[in-house]
C-alpha cells in the first residue's frame, strides 16, 4: 500500500497514565468507534487488540507498548498504548519519544495516581501536546468537581474542561461542549456549562493578546476564533483540555477523536534535537527531506525474528531503501515495511515523515539508534538524541536450575535486554554472580516468565551479595618463613614485609626495599604475586582488598630449596598476618537515594531511612503535594527498597538510586559479615 496522505494528515498519540486507568479499553473503544475493527476488544475476556502477550492476558495489565492505527476525519491516527504501572515505565517512555501528543488517562473513581504525575511531567519535558481523559466516568464514587480541582492544583490552571459531563457515576449519560453548550442544560450536570465556558475562554485568551483585548472590552468572541485559538494554545502547551469518557458506554469517544483530528500536534509541528558532526542541530521534518528515523522499540518474534520499530522524523522509506544504522555503519534493505494493529502486521510499500513502521531482520538495531539512507553524500548524517530511561534499581542474582542451561541463559537475557531498556544483566566480577536488574519485583517476575515461555529456561533467583571491600587503617609488619622438607628437594622462603593504608581509590602499590640481595631479584615478582593473590581472595570476609601498599624489606633464601612458588606462598602468609594486625575494616557501597512521596508520608519515610542507617542530605517540596527526600544509604539496606517503599506508600512513592562511594561499616555490621563468611567456609548453614 502506497501512502496517499501527507505529514500534516498524521496524528501520533500515546495513551499513558497509571495502571488500571482504562488506557487499553479506551484504545479498543476508539478503534471500534472509528470503524478500524468490526468487533470491540475487551481486556477482561482477552480479546483486546492491544494486550497481545500471554502474560498481559493472564495478568490483565499492559506490559509492553502496542501500536494501533485508525482513520478519522481524513486523519491518519497512530496510537501507542503504553504500560501504566511504574514497573514497566521504560516501555511508556519509549512510546512518548515516538509521538507528538499524549492522552493522559485518569480513572475518575481513583483520581491522580503516582504514574499520572510522572507521565504528565515527562510529556511536558518533551513538549508534547497534552489531553487529560477522565475515564470510567460511569464508575462508582465519582466526584467531577473534586477531581477537576485536584487536576488544576497538581498540573496547573492550563487544565480546563472542554466537555462537561451530564451526570456522573452510574448516571453519566453524555457530555456537553463547553464552548458550544445547548440552550437547555440538563439539571444533573455537576458543573454548569457556563462556568466551564468562562474557565476555558479565560485560558484561551491568556494565549492570544488580540482576543484578550476584545474579551476584556466585553465582546462575545466568535466560536470559530475561540476554537482556532484553543488549537494553537494546545499546540504551544498553554492549554490542556480535559475530556470526560466512558469506553463501556461509548460516551465522549467521538468528541475525543474530533479533538485529536482538529487540535493535536502534527509531525510537522515537532522539531527534534540531534547532532551533526558534534554540533547540536534542530531537525526540521519534511516528507522529501533527508531520511531520519529512530528506533523506539524492538521485539524478538519467534516467527518473524527481530522487528525494529521506527518513528520516521524526516524523509521517506520504501521497502527497497538501503538503510544505514548510524551507530554501527551497518546497512540493510528492509524488504518489507509493516504497520501494526496490535499483533497483526499490515504490509505497506512506503512510509513518510510522521509514520511509524516496523522493519524485520535488521539484527544490529537497538533502541535509540538513528537510521538514515546509506551513502548520503559527503555531509555527515544527523543523529538524534538517545531516549532517556531510568536506571533499573532492583537487583537479583540468578542461576539456571539445570547446569545444561548455563550456555543458553546469556543468549535469552541478551534478547530480553535488547527489547527492554530498563532491564540489564551483568556478571559481577567480585561476587562472581550473574545479576539481573529491573524496575521492581513484578518487572523481574515478568522477565523470569519470559525466559521460561520463550526460551524454555528455568532460573532460581535470590538477593545478590553486597560487593563489600576490605582495607586497613593502620601499619603493620609480619614475618613468615616457609620451610618444607618432604624428601628430595625441599621448599624454603623467608619474607618480611610491612603494609600501610593508601588513600581511597589509589589501589595497590608494591615496594621493593630489599638490599644486599637477601632475596634474589628473580624471586621479587613472586613476592608481589603472592600479595596480589591475597588481594583478590580477601582476608577477613572473602571480599577484595583495596588501597594497600606492601613493602618487602627483608628475608632470606636457600640456594637449592628456594623457588618462585615458595616465595609466593611465604608472601601470601606474611600478608595475611600483617593484614590482621593493621586494623582491618570492611568497606560497604553507599548509594544516593532520591525518594519522591506524598507529603503525608514524609515522616514515615524519613523514620524508615533512619532505621536503614541513612543520612538525610536534602529535601524539596514539589508541585502536586509531593516531597522529594535525598539521602545517602548503605546499599545493603535498600536491596529490597522498591518493595518496601511500595508497601509504605500504597504504591504512591518512587525513587532513584546512584552509587556514591565506599565507606567503612560499623563494627557490629563488620563482625556480622565476618561471622557469616567464617561459617560459610566451615560449611555451617545460616538459620
- CATH, residue 408: 3.30.70.870
Looking at the fold, whether 569 and 505 belong to one and the same domain comes out as yes
Looking at the fold, whether 257 and 140 belong to one and the same domain comes out as yes
Looking at the fold, whether 41 and 133 belong to one and the same domain comes out as yes
Looking at the fold, whether 531 and 608 belong to one and the same domain comes out as no
To which H or E segment does residue 224 belong? Answer: helix 223-235
Looking at the fold, whether 409 and 355 belong to one and the same domain comes out as no
460 DSSP β-pair partners:
399
Alpha helices in 456-497 (DSSP H): none
Looking at the fold, whether 620 and 649 belong to one and the same domain comes out as yes
Looking at the fold, whether 642 and 607 belong to one and the same domain comes out as yes
* Among 82, 62, 120, 102, residue whose Cα is nearest residue 626: 120
The 3 state secondary structure assigned to 75-92 is: EEEEEEECCCCHHHHHHH
Give the span between the Cα atoms of 335 and 358, in whole angstroms. Answer: 11
Q: Is 632 helix (H, G, I), strand (E, B) or coil?
A: strand
For residue 515, tell me if it sits in a domain: yes
Looking at the fold, whether 482 and 445 belong to one and the same domain comes out as no
Give the span between the Cα atoms of 445 and 443, in whole angstroms. Answer: 5
Residues of the chain with pLDDT under 70: 1-3, 375-378, 487-488, 623-624, 683-687
Handedness of CA 623, 629, 590, 426 (dihedral sign): negative
CATH number of domain containing 635:
3.30.70.240
* Among 401, 406, 517, 419, residue whose Cα is nearest residue 461: 401
Angle between helices 524-537 and 564-581 (to 10 degrees): 50
To which H or E segment does residue 535 belong? Answer: helix 524-537
- Are 22 and 107 within 8 A, CB to CB? yes
Count of helices and strands (H, E) across the chain? 16, 35
- Are 446 and 55 within 8 A, CB to CB? yes
Give the span between the Cα atoms of 138 and 249, in whole angstroms. Answer: 8
- Are 617 and 609 within 8 A, CB to CB? no
Q: What is residue 485's predicted lDDT score, i.e. its pLDDT?
A: 76
CATH number of domain containing 23:
3.40.50.300
Looking at the fold, whether 446 and 544 belong to one and the same domain comes out as no
Domain count, the chain: 5
Looking at the fold, whether 171 and 27 belong to one and the same domain comes out as yes
Q: What is residue 659's predicted lDDT score, i.e. its pLDDT?
A: 82
Alpha carbon distances (Å) from 644 to 506, 609, 612? 36, 11, 12
Give the span between the Cα atoms of 158 and 160, in whole angstroms. Answer: 6
7 backbone dihedrals φ, ψ, rounded to 5°: -60, -35
Burial of residue 417, with CB atoms counted within 10 A of its CB: 0-12 exposed, 13-18 middle, 19 or more buried: middle
Of 414, 439, 462, the last residue of a domain is: 462
Looking at the fold, whether 149 and 265 belong to one and the same domain comes out as yes
Q: Which three cell numbers stand for residue 203?
A: 485560558
For residue 217, tell me if it sits in a domain: no
Alpha helices in 351-440 (DSSP H): 406-419
Of 349, 384, 419, the last residue of a domain is: 384
Give the span between the Cα atoms of 263 and 159, in whole angstroms. Answer: 15
Q: Which three cell numbers stand for residue 445?
A: 517476575
Give the span between the Cα atoms of 610 and 604, in whole angstroms. Answer: 10
Angle at the Cα of 47 from the Cα atoms of 45 and 48, rounded to 5 degrees = 110
Of 462, 491, 522, the last residue of a domain is: 462
Q: Which three cell numbers stand for residue 306?
A: 527481530
Give the span between the Cα atoms of 318 and 305, in whole angstroms. Answer: 20
For residue 577, tell me if it sits in a domain: yes
Q: How many CB atoms lie within 10 A of CB 279?
A: 9
* Among 502, 509, 493, residue whose Cα is nearest residue 571: 493
For residue 368, tell me if it sits in a domain: yes
Has this prediction a pTM greater than 0.85? no
- Are 501 and 547 within 8 A, CB to CB? yes
For residue 199, tell me if it sits in a domain: no
Q: Could you tell me the residue range of the domain that residue 411 belongs to?
A: 394-462
Give the span between the Cα atoms of 445 and 666, in whole angstroms. Answer: 34
Alpha carbon distances (Å) from 247 to 21, 175, 218, 377? 11, 13, 39, 51
303-323 per-residue burial string, b: 16 or more CB within 10 A, e: under 16: eeebbbbbbbbbbbbebebeb
Q: What is residue 376's predicted lDDT score, i.e. its pLDDT?
A: 57
Looking at the fold, whether 358 and 455 belong to one and the same domain comes out as no
Give the span between the Cα atoms of 290 and 376, in whole angstroms. Answer: 9
Q: How many CB atoms lie within 10 A of CB 269?
A: 16
Give the span between the Cα atoms of 544 and 535, in whole angstroms. Answer: 5
Under DSSP, the state recorded for 545 is B
* Among 628, 617, 620, residue whose Cα is nearest residue 591: 617
For residue 552, tell me if it sits in a domain: yes
First to last CA, the chain: 67
Under DSSP, the state recorded for 601 is G
For residue 213, tell me if it sits in a domain: no
For residue 411, tell me if it sits in a domain: yes
Q: Which three cell numbers stand for residue 650?
A: 500504597
* Among 34, 8, 14, 647, residue whose Cα is nearest residue 287: 8
Amino acid at each position: 500500500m502506497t501512502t496517499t496522505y501527507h505529514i500534516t494528515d498524521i496524528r501520533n498519540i500515546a495513551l499513558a497514565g497509571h495502571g488500571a486507568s482504562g488506557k487499553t479499553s479506551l484504545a479498543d473503544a476508539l478503534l471500534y468507534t472509528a470503524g478500524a475493527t468490526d468487533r470491540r476488544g475487551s481486556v477482561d475476556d482477552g480479546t483486546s487488540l492491544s494486550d497481545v502477550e500471554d502474560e498481559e492476558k493472564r495478568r490483565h495489565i499492559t506490559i509492553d507498548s502496542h501500536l494501533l492505527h485508525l482513520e478519522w476525519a481524513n486523519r491518519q491516527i497512530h496510537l501507542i498504548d503504553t504500560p501504566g504501572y511504574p514497573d514497566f515505565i521504560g516501555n511508556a517512555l519509549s512510546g512518548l519519544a515516538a509521538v507528538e501528543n499524549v492522552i493522559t488517562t485518569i480513572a475518575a473513581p481513583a483520581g491522580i495516581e503516582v504514574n499520572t504525575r510522572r507521565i504528565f511531567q515527562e510529556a511536558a519535558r518533551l513538549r508534547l501536546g497534552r489531553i487529560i481523559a477522565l475515564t470510567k466516568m460511569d464508575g462508582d464514587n465519582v466526584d467531577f468537581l473534586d477531581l477537576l480541582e485536584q487536576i488544576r492544583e497538581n498540573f496547573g490552571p492550563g487544565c480546563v474542561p472542554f466537555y462537561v459531563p451530564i451526570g456522573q457515576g452510574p448516571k453519566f449519560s453524555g457530555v456537553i461542549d463547553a464552548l458550544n453548550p445547548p440552550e437547555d442544560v440538563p439539571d444533573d450536570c455537576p458543573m454548569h456549562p457556563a462556568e466551564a465556558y468562562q474557565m476555558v475562554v479565560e485560558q484561551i485568551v491568556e494565549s492570544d493578546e488580540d482576543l484578550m483585548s476584545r474579551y476584556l472590552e466585553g465582546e462575545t468572541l466568535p466560536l470559530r476564533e475561540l476554537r482556532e485559538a484553543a488549537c494553537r494554545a494546545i499546540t504551544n502547551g498553554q492549554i490542556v483540555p480535559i475530556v470526560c469518557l466512558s469506553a463501556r458506554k461509548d460516551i465522549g469517544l467521538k468528541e475525543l477523536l474530533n479533538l485529536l483530528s482538529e487540535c493535536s500536534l502534527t509531525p510537522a509541528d515537532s522539531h527534534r534535537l540531534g547532532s551533526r558532526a558534534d554540533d547540536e542541530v534542530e531537525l526540521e521534518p519534511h516528507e522529501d527531506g533527508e531520511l531520519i528515523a529512530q528506533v523506539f522499540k524492538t521485539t524478538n518474534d519467534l516467527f518473524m525474528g527481530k522487528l525494529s520499530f521506527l518513528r520516521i522524523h524526516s524523509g521517506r522509506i520504501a521497502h527497497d531503501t538501503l538503510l544505514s544504522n548510524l551507530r554501527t555503519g551497518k546497512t540493510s534493505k528492509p524488504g518489507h515495511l509493516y504497520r501494526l494493529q496490535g499483533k497483526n502486521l499490515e504490509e505497506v510499500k512506503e512510509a513518510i515523515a510522521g509514520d511509524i513502521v516496523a522493519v524485520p531482520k535488521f539484527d544490529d538495531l537497538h533502541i535509540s539508534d538513528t537510521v538514515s539512507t546509506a551513502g548520503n553524500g559527503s555531509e555527515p548524517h544527523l543523529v538524534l538524541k538517545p531516549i532517556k530511561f531510568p536506571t533499573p534499581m532492583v537487583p537479583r542474582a540468578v542461576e539456571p536450575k539445570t547446569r545444561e542451561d548455563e550456555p543458553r541463559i546469556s543468549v535469552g537475557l541478551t534478547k530480553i535486554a535488547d527489547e527492554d531498556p530498563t532491564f540489564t544483566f551483568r556478571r559481577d566480577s567480585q561476587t562472581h554472580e550473574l545479576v539481573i536488574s529491573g524496575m521492581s519485583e513484578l518487572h523481574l517476575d515478568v522477565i523470569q516468565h519470559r525466559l521460561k515461555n520463550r526460551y524454555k529456561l528455568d532460573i532460581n533467583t535470590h538477593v545478590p551479595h553486597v560487593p563489600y571491600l576490605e582495607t586497613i587503617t593502620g601499619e603493620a609488619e609480619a614475618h613468615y618463613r616457609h620451610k618444607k622438607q618432604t624428601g628430595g628437594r625441599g621448599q624454603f622462603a623467608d619474607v618480611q614485609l610491612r603494609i600501610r593504608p593508601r588513600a581511597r581509590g589509589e589501589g595497590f602499590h608494591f615496594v621493593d626495599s630489599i638490599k644486599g640481595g637477601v632475596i634474589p631479584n628473580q624471586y621479587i615478582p613472586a613476592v608481589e604475586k603472592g600479595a596480589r593473590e591475597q588481594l583478590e581472595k580477601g582476608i577477613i570476609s572473602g571480599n577484595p582488598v583495596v588501597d594497600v601498599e606492601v613493602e618487602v624489606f627483608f628475608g632470606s633464601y636457600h640456594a637449592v630449596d628456594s623457588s618462585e612458588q615458595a616465595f609466593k606462598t611465604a608472601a601470601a602468609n606474611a600478608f595475611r598476618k600483617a593484614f590482621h594486625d593493621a586494623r582491618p575494616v570492611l568497606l560497604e557501597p553507599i548509594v544516593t537515594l532520591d525518594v519522591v512521596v506524598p507529603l503525608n508520608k514524609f515522616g514515615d519515610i524519613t523514620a524508615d531511612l533512619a532505621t536503614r542507617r541513612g543520612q538525610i542530605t536534602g529535601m524539596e517540596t514539589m508541585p502536586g503535594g509531593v516531597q522529594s527526600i535525598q539521602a545517602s544509604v548503605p546499599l545493603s539496606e535498600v536491596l529490597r527498597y522498591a518493595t518496601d517503599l511500595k508497601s509504605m506508600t500504597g504504591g504512591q512513592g518512587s525513587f532513584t538510586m546512584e552509587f556514591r562511594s565506599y565507606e567503612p561499616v560499623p563494627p557490629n555490621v563488620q563482625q556480622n559479615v565476618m561471622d557469616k563468611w567464617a561459617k560459610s567456609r566451615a560449611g555451617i548453614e545460616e538459620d
